[in-house]
Chains A and B, each alone.
Chain A
Amino acid sequence: MLRSLALLATAVAVRFVVRSGRRRRRHARVEHLLTTLEHAEELAGVGFWEMDVRSGALKWSEGLHAIYGTDPASGAPDRVAFFEMVHPDDRRAMRDVFRRLSASETVVDITFRIFRRGELRWLQARAERKVDRRLGTDHFLGVTRDITEEHRKTEEIESHAHELEEEVRRRTAQLDATNRELEAFSYSVSHDLRTPLRSIDGFSQALLEDYGDKFDADGRDYLQRVRAATQRMGRLIDDLLALSRVSRSEMQARPVDLSALAQQALQELREQQPERQVECVVAPGLTATGDPTLLGMVLHNLLGNAWKYTSRHSTARVEFGAREENGQREFFVRDDGAGFDPAHAGKLFAVFQRLHRVDEFEGTGVGLATVARIVHRHGGDVRAEGAVERGATFYFTLPGERAR
């Protein structure tokens, strides 16, 4: 009996020793886990909390105390103290979080503000209700993160974006105003500048008709020159207006039959001067994507030039076609007329720049500038090749036609 008691005692003792050894090991593991957790909290800048739903007992981790700036030694704050730290405008949302946690086991997220010892901080929290029926526990668990810095950066970016938007709005308004001014200006050019020209021309003509016999040949010649100059200025104004309209007008992007437009332009030229012997060659089926009116102006100007600068030759050839150059399609208008000195080719596309005298070939020096502006507005390029008395070729690209 004694022996058996001693045996039992030994067994209990052994068991106790074994058990306490396990307990110690388990305790050490828990200690280790807690330390790891604290390090992880610190590293991530997060804090944990846990609340026993039945007893209302609340535990805060060290990390959470760090976030709220509270002293871990005094334990988790009570409900009143906690809600006092929350920004008044966010308290209702916070109460709602707890209501939703109580109602179901879903995850609830909230972004809210607190005062950490008087300093406003932005926090982001996620909480969940965990019911363990096997252990019979019922807890609210939560993780909280301080996002003040992120929030500040987001706000900065947003305010930046807002400033940019404001800037765009301001610039657009400025541009609109400039456009309106330009409209008003070109309106006034169109109307007011032409009016006195009409008077000069009209009364010169009246003088010639009513008092022609009082002038000698020189006098009549002078008046003719006044009229010619006036009419030329009228054409200049019209051409400039057309040029400004090229920049102002809304552009369409439609498939355009360039071959048909070229045929049409040549037809009009032939009707104006049926006596001219011009061989016109138009490659069939050339299309591009762009504004039909503007592209019509391009062909009108280029073919009109070809027609004009071949006028001193008894026979001429004018061609519209296309070719591949460096994998890009180039349209061209070619003539065998007066050509130009390639040394001055750079001036060809500038407004009012002419490579021929007016008594050689009539013109205002606006046509090619208009062509260049239209081609550029379509994202293309324009260039010219030529030699004196060896004709000229104008090349242009319309990349829109590739893109589609």
Chain B
Amino acid sequence: MQVVQPTRGPILLVEDNPDDVALTLRAFRKNNIANPIIVARDGAEALEWLFCEGPFADRDASEAPSVILLDLKLPRLSGLEVLERIRADERTKLHRVVILTSSKEEDDLTASYRLQANSYIRKPVDFDEFIHAVGQIGLYWLILNQPPPRV
């Protein structure tokens, strides 16, 4: 039997709402997801972390996130703009990006997939469903999914 090792890299959670941050962290805990979680409070901060700029200039650049959970409605840079920048840069274009948002407007879905989001998940109101959804994200992106080889 093959033992599947979970992807170890940190999870980058881009989310401006502190309640949602707390609930998402709780959901990770409930699902026994042990990866370190980096929280970026807006789009600009997320890009600074990804590109090792500003306060993250000293970060180990070889440490890539196992998955990026990206909210769409963010102050300063929107989620879609962040996604666009991630896909446009050689260093980050292969990162796994899961859109995690309240919106299920068709325009948002289309725009996200057009910018090559890997998944699009709508946050349910029911917290039990939310925990289940986060568990599925962890199972799929951290365990089942084979990440691209490191360049």
Contacts and interface: CB of A to CB of B under 8 A. Distances in A.
Interface residues of B, number: 20
Interface residues of A, number: 22
Contact of A231 (B17, B104, B105, B126): B126
A231 B127 CA distance: 9
A199 B105 contact: no
A190 B125 contact: no
A194 B22 CA distance: 16
B123 interface: yes
Contact of A198 (B72, B73, B105, B125): B125
B51 interface: no
Interface string B48-61: 00000000000000
Nearest to A210: B26
B127 A195 contact: no
B103 A197 contact: no
Contacts of A194: 102, 123, 125
Chain A binding surface, main DSSP class: helix
A224 interface: no
Given A190-B105, A191-B101, A202-B23, A234 B126 contact: yes
Contacts of B26: 202, 206
A197 B105 contact: no
B105 A187 contact: yes
Nearest to A208: B127
Contacts of A233: 125
A329 B90 CA distance: 61
B103 A198 contact: no
A191 B103 contact: yes
Interface string A184-212: 00110011101111110111111000000
A205 B125 contact: no
Interface string B128-143: 1010000000000000
B72 to A, nearest CB: 8
Interface string B30-71: 000000000000000000000000000000000000000000
Given A202-B23, A234-B124, 11 more contacts: A187-B103, A187-B105, A190-B102, A190-B103, A190-B104, A191-B103, A194-B102, A199-B20, A202-B130, A205-B127, A206-B26
